[in-house]
Each structure stands twice: as structure tokens, then as C-alpha cells.
Amino acid sequence: MNTLTLQNLKDIVSGNAAAFRRVVKLEPVGGPGAKVFPPTYEGGKYATEKRWFNGKLVDCVLLDSVQSQANRMELALKEAVDEGRISLPVITVDFSKTEAAFVRRVTSLEAPHRIADAILRDSEWRNRVPFRKTSAGKALDNASLQNATELFGYCPTALVFGMWYSTGARGGLGVKFPRAIVSEIIGIGAVPGQRTGGRLDPLKITSSAGPIYETQDGDWTLESQKAKTKADKNGNIVPTLYGKKGKPSEINHGNVTPSLVVQKDQNGNPIDRSGTPTTRMDEWIPIGGFTIDYAQQITVISLPTLRRLRFPVKGKNDADTAARVALTALALCAATLSGEKGYNLRSQCDLYPPDGVPAWEVVGLNRTFSTFSLDAESAIKLFNQAVKEAKGAGLPWHSEGLTLVPREDLVALIVRSRATSDGDQGEEEA
Amino acid sequence: MFSIAIRYLCGWASAAANKKEEPEWPPHPDRVFMALVAAWAETGADQSEEQCLRFLQGLPAPRLSASLSYELHAASIIFRRDLNAEERVPVPVYVPANGDRREMKSPIKLMPSERKRNKRYFPAVIPESDTVYLIWPDVELPAEHRAALERLCAKVGYLGDTSSLVQMWVEDNPPPPTLVPTDERHYSCRLRVFRTLEELIADYERDKRAGQYLPRTFKWGYYREPEEKKPPTPSSHFAELLILRRTAGPTLDITDTLGLAKTLRDAAISLWQQRIESSVPEWLSGHTPSGGRSRRENGHLAFVALPNVGHQHADGELKGAALAVPQDVTKDEQTLLLDALFPLDEQTGEVRPLELTLGRLGVWRLEQETRSFPRMVTLHKPVWLGPAERWATVTPIVLDRYPKNGESEAEEMVAAACQRIGLPRPREVVLMPGSLFIGAPLANRFPSLPKKFGKTVDQHTHALLIFDQPVRGPILLGAGRYRGYGLCRPWRSGGEQ
């Protein structure tokens, strides 16, 4: 099979093909039939659906969403940058020399809204120049689909993974770059399973060994006189039990009877399918992962989306193709590097491609495909060549990066709020 | 003939309907036009492309070829009940906010792991076929516009959500349409059709001035499935089932069927008299002008309650109602009735709901189910229409008389009841006290018909009917068929979709 060359890529990007597409067949590392644990959503639910395969509907479960895949690809790029395998413009906010050093660094590859993120907005460059006033900030302010040249130089990943600049002067009408790469992983032939949980205490602490009291500083004690006190319903001052009943299990000691892991309501009572608490075990809803026949990752890179972007250099549009080729190579590189890292999606959801990684298809009109193989090293080589050509065409490429420091008041506020944030989860919607 | 083809490259289509948590399917023509206009405006506003867009906006509403069978993408529904859930519940996804720092109480929440998360929906469908066509069968694409349209199509990368990547092109040989434009708003789904370039530009300029997206006015068109050319499936003399969705009101049980059907019938007759004319036609009232019992060959209008039955967690609650229309009632006559029940509010352009007063229980509000995506399976028309070879009762059949000679006489009465509504004689009739559908109670638990009919609960029976060939519903059998009794639903062994 042909390896994708820079010339191939140029022909494809400047032609009328619609997309690059790759479908990777995956299996649990435990082999077919081994259980996988998909992500859970609100209320401990799994995302299931039916899909058509060869005219038949098959039960499927979502193993990794589009958004999650985008984050994994960006992290794969970040690793490649850190290892010096690729050169990529990245904007970093460095917390290490501030009081909030525990935050370390946040880069435009990790910030949720990429270069348009509020963390960058609230940071400064060198002599207290606010990010918005730096050349990178101005590039963001002035970016449009017709002129993405400067943004290309500072944050090309925003053009590939998409970005909505909603915190600028134009608010919700700020520039939007649609994502050009979409990837997701689904489990096919999904059958829900059951799981049990329990704990056998090697210390053999029994529940009658209590009661446990809570001290003033939130620790526990067996001595009632050291406990903090409170008034009971009759107004008597009594020591405070730890947790609800002061049992050793409240401080994570003792046995936990093995039981089925099931969906529960806010009070910890198992619920039935209508959401009502029930004591009938046959009505409980297990949270026990799935067995699947196999999993499938579909990655699509949209070429029309990239062709919509224009990159004027000195008033001329001669560099458009070079920039689009570089962005396509960046997308291919991100997907390939992310695949190279493996498919360890989360605890108990390890997948691998048993037949290796297949070729990329080029989706053209009338479904005439051509296919190209691309391993990680070739993807990196291709990307570096494409970047070189883009630079040659006069496009900016600030691979030296830009390092910002957080504003002082931001640091102070982070430090102050960290001290109080432990119990402060109330305003979260989730 | 020419068409615009849209292929969903990931196999699914993500776009929100008017209600943000519900998916839009099929893609509305206006969405496609907007994508083309955006492609034109964002790539230099070429003049030949503009002329092509003006040509398109002047065309009649296109026919559509889009899979009418589709599933919901997992990102838009996460099962609350089981894999065959009755109610498909959209589930929110929480995405990190990029909000104003002033909104945040503690700035540590700016850090990616601590970020406040906003509730969003990513509704999406997985159609059986990944390609959709907008078809103009009677229009030739002039040569001067073809190149421009091809260029515009090639510039569209996504439709709806940005994750919904597509490929678009001009196709001269599209498949036959699955949806065609119609004037009849009552029997169709409502889709947004092309606005004009001027309107879109005006909206764009207005939003820019306002600094935010303002609500916009859409143009609506109605679509229905094309008439079938296949040899007709045997069907009952009830030709059409008009589904009404309960949008507000008290909880009613399947055993309240009679009461609901009566209230609905009274409302239909009185609204006809108020809004159409004082004399009520025989097909609606079931009575001749002189007050005698109607002897119409195809029967008269039946009022049906639609219960939630037939799956693991069915509870028999009534989710809506329906009107089963005899086949010789013309579309015009039906339209008159529906206009009377659901008048169009001239000022708002919206349809007013029907309110049924249920005594002390309160008021049921009903709307016509014209959404292309009914959230409840109970309100899905094919669930009640089949076609299928095997049908079973949801509400009991009321036998014409007490069967003195045992079961065989009763079976004969049910077989005759099938023929009375125009169906072929079933190959087999199996009678039983209970329904095969979960959620439907025993036959004798349903209240008997009003006294004037002279029937008792001893004459109630559930049944399974097996025909020699698939037949089409709606099927309503026995003496209570005009009041929601004897309602059947296709029975598929080994589970029910």
C-alpha cells in the first residue's frame, strides 16, 4: 500500500475529495467477551444506542465521545511536542513561579477553549502586557475564516479542533472555527453486565468496635471527651458521632458486605427503572459495564471545512493551499499519534487493534476511494515537511511558543479559593 | 431533474430541532440552504454563486429522500429504562464553560479540572442510509448555475453541529423521494423550507447590530410520505389514525378509556357545531340526520385512547388519544374537523391546542402529533398501524352477545367482527382473559359500556388474531370499537418494538 506523501496530500487537499476517513477495529485487551466499562453520564447511566450494520440493528454503547477523542488527540500532540518529535506553536501559562505553583502549567492544548480560553485571557506576557494586547491575542481578535493567517502561526490546533471566541468584544457573535476532525469509539454488540463491590478488612475491625466521634478538626477519635459537641433534639450537649452513625465504616474501616453495584438515588437507595427507590432486587439497575463483540473507532477529517479557511500573506492568497495542507497533516498526525499511544480509555476500558491500524481512505465523489497507509513516524515526517513548505510560503509558525504568566490577582484568588474550595461544590451544575 | 446530495460521513446527523434537546431529522431544507449561503458568504461572496442561490430560492419546495427509519445517537439519549425504552429521554452533557470571571465565585474554577460545566444537548440520529437528497424532479439545473452549485456544495463541510461532517454534491440520479411537499398541515411533518438570501442577510445584519443571536422567523412547509404504488395491503375500513399528544393534564389509566373517548367525542361534535356548521355529519356523530343509528358501510369516526403498554416497564397510563377515520371520509372533511379541533391562531401563526375538561380531574390539553420525532413510542403511528400478521388486543373486545355455546361461538363472533370492519377473516382467533401486552389489565377490569348498549363485563375478552397475510390497522373490534374498546396492536413474538 502507498504511504501518503506530501505530493499526494497536496493533490488531495487542492482537489475535490470530501474527507480522510479511518475505521479502526478494536477489541478489549482481555480478548473478545471481556468486559469493558464505558463512561457514565448523569445519574450513572451509560450511553447506548442502536446502529445499522449490514441492514440489521445492533445494540451499541458509546465508549469515547467526540469531545473526549479531541482531548486525547491534543494530549498526544502535547506529548510529541514535549518529546521534541514535532514543532508546534503552543501558548503556555506558567504558574510555576507563582504562589499557585501547584497548578504548574496550562497550555493551549489543554485549556478547554483552546486559545480562546479564559485562563489565557487572564494572563500576561513579560512586562505585564495583557494577553489580548500581545501579538497572539491580537491574532485571535482579528481572526476570521477569510484571514486565519496569524492564528495559524500561534494556535494551528484551534483551526483543526475548532474554536468559538465567545469571550471577546463580539461576545456570542465572536469568530467560530468549526472542527475539522471528528472521532469517536463505539462498542458493537453491547450486552450490559453486572458487577459486585465489597471489602474484606484485613484488620478485622467490626462495626461494634465504635462508636467513632468527630473531632474539631474533622479527624476521628474513640474518646468522647475529645469530640466536638452539639446540641441534640432535647437541647443536651452531646459529642458528635462521625458520619451518620459513628460506625467504623464511616472512616473506611471494617468489612463491606459484597453486593451488586446498582444505580442509586441521592440518598443511596437503589432505584428501579422509573427512578423510584425500591427494595426489590430484580428491579435494580446494574452498573456493570458491557461485553461487546468488538469496538470501532471512526475518524473523519473534513476537507471542505479546511478549504473554507483563507490565509492571505502580504495581500495575496498564494499560501492558502500550503496552510491547508499543513493543517490536514496536523490532523492526520494528531489522530495517528493518539492511536500510537494506545486505547487505554479509562480504568477497565483497555482496547487494542487486533488487526493493526488500517489505512486512511480518501472519500471522494461517487465513493471512489484511494487508500494510504500512515504510521506515526511517517505522519510526523509528513507534518514537518508540510510545515516547512508553509513557512516557505510566507506563513508564520511560532514554534518557539509563547509563555505567559497569570495575573497577580488571579494567582491570589486561586490561592485563596483553593483553601476554601473543598466544600464549595454547590455552584456546580453537574 | 436534479438534486443536492448530502452524505453524513460519520454515519450520524447531529442537529437540534426547535426544542434544543431533540434531534432534527430529516435535515430541514432551510438548514441546507443556510449552509450553502454560509459557504458563499464566507468564501468571498462570488457573484455567480450568488445568482445560483437566487435561482435555488425561487424553486418550489424540494422533495426529500431520507431514511424514515433511524435510531438515536447515544450522545443524545442515555437509556433511563432499558435498551427498548418506551420513553426516549434526552440526557444532558456537561461542557466546561468559558464564562465571565465575574460569574464565578472562586477563580480556581478557571482551572480545567475545576471548571463550571454548562448543560448542553448534542441530539443526533443514526439514519439507516447515510445519504439525504433534496430533489427537484421537474426542474433542470441551467448550465450557468451548475458549476456554481457544485462549487458551493464542495465548500460545505458540516450540517448542524460541527461534529456532523458531511459531503455534498449535485446528483442527477437521486433515489425516489420518501417525503414530498403537501398543503395538508394535519397529516404531515413540519419542516423549515428555504428562506431568501435577502432574509438571511437581514437576519445576519440585525444580529450583528444587536451583538447577539436574536430569534428568527422561519418559513414552514409540510411534508408527507408519497402515495404508495405497491399492491395495497388488506386493511380495516379505518384508513387513517390521527394521533393527539397529551401535553398537560391529569394522569389517566387505560381503564379510563371509555371516559376519555366520550369526552373527546363530545368535544369534537360541539366544536364542529361551533366552528363549522350546526348539523353534524353522520361519519362524525354515528347518527343519521333523523337521529337513528348510522348504517354507513365503512362505519364512522372512532375515538381512541392510547395507553403506554407492551414493554417491560409499561404502566398502562394514557399518553394521548387518536381519531380513527373511516376510509370514505375525504381529506377535506377530515381537514374541516381538524381545523375545528385545532384552529390556527392568525395572530401568532401557531396552532391552538385542544382542551378536554375531565370533570373534577382537571383539563387534558392535546396537540396533534406532527413532529417527525415523537418522543414516546406510544404516539408513534406505525406502532398502531402495522402491517402485521398477528394482532393482539390492548383494550378488550366487547362481544355482541353473551356466548351461550362456549368459546367457539365467541371466537366466531370475533372473526365476524374482523370481517365487519373490512378485514379478511383471521386464520386463528385465540381468546383469553388477559392481554398479551404488559400494562393492559384483565378484560373484566375495564368498565362496561353505558347501559343503553346492554352489554356486561362478562362479554369482554382479550384476543390474539392471526391472519394469513399482513394486514394494516388501525384495528378496532367489537361493540365498543367507536369508544376505544377492542383496540389491537401488532404482536411480535419474542419482543415488541
Give pLDDT tens digits for A376-390: 999 999 999 999 999
Average pLDDT, integer, range B87-101: 58
Split at pLDDT 50, 70, 90, the class of B230 is: low
Side chain identity at B342, as an amino acid letter? F
Q: What is the DSSP string of A333-350?
A: HHHHHHHHT-EEEETTEE
Highest mean pLDDT (candidates A85-99, A383-397, B58-72, B286-300)? A383-397
The reply to whether B156 touches chain A by the CB within 8 Å rule is yes
Pairing of strands A402-406, A91-94: parallel
C-alpha–C-alpha distance, residues A302 and A331, integer Å:
10
Contacts of residue B75 in chain A, CB cutoff 8 Å? 47, 62, 65-66
Predicted local distance difference test score (pLDDT) of residue B108: 59
Predicted local distance difference test score (pLDDT) of residue B448: 93
In the numeric block, which cell numbers belong to residue A81? 511536542
Give the residue from chain B lying closest to A170, CA to CA: B211
pLDDT per position as a tens digit, A187-217: 998 888 776 667 777 777 887 777 888 888 8
Nearest of A259, A256, A255, A257 to residue A196 by alpha carbon = A259
Beta bridge mates, A91: A402
Query: Do B41 and B1 form a contact (C-beta atoms < 8 A)?
Result: no
Could you tell me which residue, B229 or B487, shows the higher pLDDT?
B487
Yes or no, beta carbons of A171 and B211 under 8 Å apart: yes
Side chain identity at B312, as an amino acid letter? Q
Q: What crossing angle do the helices spanning B143-154 and B29-42 adopt, rounded to 10°?
A: 90
- Give the three-class secondary structure for B291: coil
C-alpha–C-alpha distance, residues B491 and B389, integer Å:
8
Yes or no, beta carbons of A274 and B81 under 8 Å apart: yes
Given a cut of 50, is residue B288 above it in pLDDT?
Answer: yes
C-alpha–C-alpha distance, residues B248 and B366, integer Å:
7
Phi, psi of B143 (to 5 degrees): -55, -35
Split at pLDDT 50, 70, 90, the class of B89 is: low
Beta bridge mates, A25: A296
C-alpha–C-alpha distance, residues A113 and A362, integer Å:
30
Predicted local distance difference test score (pLDDT) of residue A301: 96
For B78, B88, B119, the CA distances from B122, given in Å and listed in that order, are 12, 14, 10
Pairing of strands A369-372, B124-127: unpaired
In the numeric block, which cell numbers belong to residue A396? 508564520
Yes or no, beta carbons of B11 and A298 under 8 Å apart: yes
pLDDT per position as a tens digit, B414-432: 999 999 999 999 999 999 9
C-alpha–C-alpha distance, residues B324 and B421, integer Å:
12
Q: Cell match 492564528: residue?
A: A151
Omega cis (within 30) before A211: yes
Q: How many H helices and E strands in chain B? A: 9, 22
> For the whole model, what pTM was predicted?
0.71
For A141, A142, A162, the CA distances from A165, given in Å and listed in that order, are 8, 11, 10
A234: Cβ–Cβ under 8 A, 6 or more apart, which residues? none
Split at pLDDT 50, 70, 90, the class of B85 is: very low
Residues 367-386 of B with CB under 8 A from A: none
pLDDT per position as a tens digit, B132-173: 999 999 999 999 999 999 999 999 999 998 889 999 999 999
Phi, psi of A324 (to 5 degrees): -65, -40
Query: Do B48 and B181 form a contact (C-beta atoms < 8 A)?
Result: no
Q: Cell match 461572496: residue?
A: B45
Nearest of A349, A346, A373 to residue A359 by alpha carbon = A373
Give the residue from chain A lying closest to B497, CA to CA: A57
Yes or no, beta carbons of A116 and B98 under 8 Å apart: yes
Predicted local distance difference test score (pLDDT) of residue B106: 57
Predicted local distance difference test score (pLDDT) of residue B171: 93
C-alpha–C-alpha distance, residues B429 and B422, integer Å:
16
Could you tell me which residue, B86 or B153, shows the higher pLDDT?
B153
Nearest Cβ partner of B156 from A118, A304, A418? A304
Predicted local distance difference test score (pLDDT) of residue A245: 81
C-alpha–C-alpha distance, residues B400 and B294, integer Å:
17
pLDDT per position as a tens digit, B424-473: 999 999 999 999 998 899 999 999 999 888 888 889 999 999 999 889 88
Predicted local distance difference test score (pLDDT) of residue B97: 64
B232: Cβ–Cβ under 8 A, 6 or more apart, which residues? none
Beta bridge mates, B127: B70
In the numeric block, which cell numbers belong to residue B50? 450568488
Task: Assess: ipTM above 0.90.
Answer: no
In the numeric block, which cell numbers belong to residue A406? 497569570
Given a cut of 60, is residue B87 above it in pLDDT?
Answer: no
Yes or no, beta carbons of A178 and B158 under 8 Å apart: yes
Quick one: what percent of chain B has pLDDT higher than 90?
51
Mark the ranges of chain A whose per-residue pLDDT is less than 70.
42-44, 195-197, 260, 273-275, 366-368, 420-430
Quick one: what percent of chain B has pLDDT higher than 70?
87
Phi, psi of A241 (to 5 degrees): -70, 150
- Which one of A42, A45, A94, A365 would you mutate to disrupt binding with B, by most B Cβ within 10 Å of its Cβ? A365
In the numeric block, which cell numbers belong to residue A16? 475535490
Q: What is the DSSP string of B16-49?
A: B-SSTTSB--SPPHHHHHHHHHHHHHHTT--HHH
C-alpha–C-alpha distance, residues A385 and B370, integer Å:
55
A59: Cβ–Cβ under 8 A, 6 or more apart, which residues? A48, A50, A189, A190, A191, B83
Predicted local distance difference test score (pLDDT) of residue A249: 80
Beta bridge mates, A188: A60, A294
- Give the three-class secondary structure for B453: helix
Nearest of B21, B349, B343 to residue B217 by alpha carbon = B349
pLDDT averaged over every residue in chain B: 85
Predicted local distance difference test score (pLDDT) of residue B109: 60
For A34, A51, A58, the CA distances from B83, given in Å and listed in that order, are 21, 12, 11
DSSP designation for A43: T
In this structure, how many other beta carbons lie within 10 angstroms of the beta carbon of residue A13?
A: 23
Pairing of strands B460-471, A19-28: unpaired
C-alpha–C-alpha distance, residues A249 and A140, integer Å:
53
Yes or no, beta carbons of A363 and B9 under 8 Å apart: yes
Phi, psi of A155 (to 5 degrees): -150, 70
C-alpha–C-alpha distance, residues B98 and B387, integer Å:
52
Q: What is the DSSP string of B90-140?
A: B--EEEE----GGG-SSGGGGSGGG--EEEE---EEEESSSEEEEEETT--
pLDDT per position as a tens digit, A288-346: 788 899 999 999 999 999 999 999 999 898 999 999 999 999 999 999 999 988 899 98
Residues 157-186 of B with CB under 8 A from A: 157-158, 162-163, 165, 167-169
C-alpha–C-alpha distance, residues B106 and A427, integer Å:
10
Yes or no, beta carbons of B71 and A50 under 8 Å apart: yes
Average pLDDT, integer, range B207-211: 85
Chain mean position to CA A280: 38
In the numeric block, which cell numbers belong to residue A153? 502561526
